[in-house]
Amino acid sequence: MTHNFFAGPAILPQEVLAKASESVKNLTEMGLSILEISHRSEFFANVMTEAEAVCRRLLNVSDDYAVLFLTGGASSQFFMAPLNILPSGESAAYIDTGAWSTKAIKEAKHYGNIVEVGSSKDANYNYLPEIESDLSKYKYLHLTSNNTIFGTQYQEFPDVGTPLVCDMSSDIFSRPLDVSKFDIIYAGAQKNMGPAGTTLVIIKKSILGKVDRHIPTMLNYETHIAKGSSFNTPPVLPIYVSMLTMQWVERHGGVAAMKVRNEEKATLLYNEIDRNSLFKSAVSEPYRSKMNVTFLLNDESHMDGFLAACKDNAIVGIEGHRSVGGFRASIYNAMELSSVQHLVDVMKSFEAKNG
């Protein structure tokens, strides 16, 4: 068995992979592959309907919000969000907590006055900056809920007197969420929802149609709402597998159960990092991610040895991002506790031999 700790494209539930594999070969309802069917077919229309419905059930999304399945990843939302909802001359607040928020800030500056109201760049993003209690003068506050590279995560979302726009690419469906706090939630599928190729956008409908700039048809949220995420040919397979993954979450107790599951895995791994004489966390305790656990060696000379031990024990995707170094264990919803325990056992064994 291979233990997959890659940050993305990331681990998927085995039963989802099995169902998706069958569907690539043959959809019993039609005698065709999921790769061959028309996006206008009744089968895929039902897939799109169920994908939206299960998303709404999992996150308790009201009819005030549209649920879209788009393309372009979270990176496309860095400009689509301000393009659609930030009127010229108005200001939006952004928090810089890593690579993805930095890119979001860069793109948003083309559409309005972007004010960086907090940053943890001074410490290589190993913490989350404090947020002012009143940001009501801004159109919205943009956050990245979980930082895959640096391993930080907001455990609670702030009330700051203005709506939130949030990139949740790597922790969507990992815990309960009060959607009413947000104007826009967006998430690339490939880290905790499905395969690469589709992007979930949950958007409050009443905020649209209020900017005076020209919005290209393909970049206008209202276009995609009107056409049910099918203005152009949608990414059929990624949406289908994302639907299967969301159904898997629902069958296994929903996001409340995922929260318990993820906390158990994170606690097990962080406890070992803190106990083990060879390792240390890359992030201080209040800010630690329950999705992407980043950790370092106290003695870098052990790097090759530990990576070799992981390889020998069928652990893949454990090497940290070049911005942080060390190691990164991505423990998304689909990761089993037994795989985290396996990593912990390898860490203990490595300490016994090298400590």
Tell me the per-residue pLDDT of 110-138, one tens digit each, with 9 for 90 and over: 999 999 999 999 999 999 999 999 999 99
d(C-alpha 264, C-alpha 284), whole Å: 18
d(C-alpha 284, C-alpha 230), whole Å: 44
**265-289 per-position pLDDT tens digit:** 999 999 999 999 999 999 989 999 9
Residue range 93-99: mean pLDDT, rounded: 97
Contacts of 244 (CB under 8 A, 6+ apart): 16, 19, 20, 194
Percent of the chain with pLDDT over 70: 100
**30-39 per-position pLDDT tens digit:** 788 999 999 9
pLDDT score recorded for residue 187: 98
Instruction: Locate the DSSP E strands across the chain.
Output: 3-4, 65-70, 91-96, 113-119, 141-144, 146-147, 152-153, 164-167, 182-188, 199-204, 279-281, 292-297, 315-316, 327-330
The dihedral region occupied by 346, where left means phi > 0, alpha psi between -120 and 50, and beta the remainder, is alpha
Residue range 224-253: mean pLDDT, rounded: 97
Contacts of 288 (CB under 8 A, 6+ apart): 151, 152, 153, 266, 270, 281
In this model, does residue 153 exceed pLDDT 80? yes
Is the preceding omega at residue 195 within 30 degrees of 0, hence cis?
A: no
Domains in the chain, start-ordered, CATH in brackets?
3-9+254-354 (3.90.1150.10), 14-251 (3.40.640.10)
- Point out the residues that are catalytic: 100, 167, 191
In this model, does residue 28 exceed pLDDT 90? no
Residue range 204-223: mean pLDDT, rounded: 97
**317-339 per-position pLDDT tens digit:** 999 999 999 999 999 999 999 99
**Residue 238 identity:** P
d(C-alpha 88, C-alpha 212), whole Å: 8
| pTM of the shown model | 0.97
- Determine contact, residues 24/212, Cβ cutoff 8 Å: no
| Chain centroid offset of residue 244 CA | 17
Q: What is the DSSP letter of 321?
A: P
